[in-house]
Amino acid sequence: MSERFTKRWLGVTLSLIGVVAILWLAASGRLELYIHPRYVVFTAIMAIIGGAASIAAFLVVPLTDHDHDDNDDDEPRPGGRGAVLLRVSGSAVLVIAAVVALLVLPPATLSSATAANRDISSSSTLDSADSTHLVGGDSTSFTVKDWATLLHQGLGDDFFAGKPAHITGFLVATDDPDVVYVARFLVTCCAVDAQPLGVPVYLPGWQQNFAADDWVDVTGAFGLNPDATAAETVVLTAAKTDKIPVPAQPYVY
């Protein structure tokens, strides 16, 4: 009975878990924590279609008492009661895990651990980025992505000297205790392909007021790193650093 129930309802139950989670994320504006904004409408529409089909499945009753067993007639089912119990238990675990992951746990962005794993300091994401429109622009409106692009292009110390900046991102520790990255993830499709971009900020003693992953708003100006032997020669020297909540759109595109 329980295996019959599993075969008939497992897919519909998992569909509904996914549909409820997607529509709730879309309604609360947090679907973009997982996918690029250009997929939000498509994803929501397909979730509605999937949800409607799942609800319709509840309206269909078997034509006969034996309808449930149609599949079993031709299909040798391996194992005895133990195997059946294993399949049913596995399905139950899957449903519970899906409920916990999709519905119980709060949505979250990727952390500084993933940024470090994907090597923020030498991200190749920006190798092909075009920075010509940034040169000569109003630098106070530049984002982390813009500054990271310019720094990656190696424009020289003179270009950055004294340029004011105002950026928002999360903190990622570096090997230098006086320098911390203010970072964002660049997403092209979904969080799986997120590439970290960071701006090195000179902020001695930052660990006393902040922790890695804290979101901050930094105002300051670029200049040479006081430590001439450091890997990051050009840094943003922070004049004002404020802790802020995670923004509604934490990724850049």
Q: Is 46 in the site for other proteins (CB under 8 A)?
A: yes
Q: Is 43 in the site for other proteins (CB under 8 A)?
A: yes
> Please, which residue, 71 or 249, has the CB nearer to other proteins?
71
Q: What is the DSSP letter of 156?
A: -
Please list, in sequence order, all residues whose beta carbon lies within 8 angstroms of the beta carbon of residue 7, skipping any fewer than 6 positions away. Answer: 68, 71
Q: Is 70 in the site for other proteins (CB under 8 A)?
A: yes
Q: How far is the CB of 236 from other proteins (least distance, A)?
A: 23
Q: Is 231 in the site for other proteins (CB under 8 A)?
A: no
Binding-site member from 86, 88, 156, 190 for other proteins (CB under 8 A):
190
Q: Is 195 in the site for other proteins (CB under 8 A)?
A: yes
Binding-site member from 3, 12, 221, 223 for other proteins (CB under 8 A):
12
Q: Is 75 in the site for other proteins (CB under 8 A)?
A: yes
- Contact predicate 185/250, CB 8 Å: yes
> Please, which residue, 139 or 174, has the CB nearer to other proteins?
174
List the x/- string, 150-179, binding to other proteins by CB under 8 A: ------------------------------
Q: Is 103 in the site for other proteins (CB under 8 A)?
A: yes
State the number of CA atoms in the 13 A half-sphere of 173 facing the CB.
Answer: 10
Distance between CA atoms of 183 and 181, rounded to whole angstroms?
6
Instruction: Catalogue the long-range contacts made by 186-189 (C-beta closer than 8 Å, 24 or more residues apart).
Output: 186/125, 186/145, 186/251, 186/252, 186/253, 187/35, 187/36, 187/251, 187/252, 187/253, 188/36, 188/253, 189/35, 189/36, 189/39
> Where does this chain touch other proteins (CB under 8 A) — which range of 24-32, 130-138, 170-178, 232-240?
24-32
**105 to each of 15, 35, 191, how far by Cα in Å?**
18, 18, 17
* Site residues (CB under 8 A) for other proteins, limited to 112-141: 112-114, 117-119, 122-125, 127-128
Q: Is 74 in the site for other proteins (CB under 8 A)?
A: yes
Q: Among 24, 30, 33, 71, which Cα is nearest to 51's?
A: 24
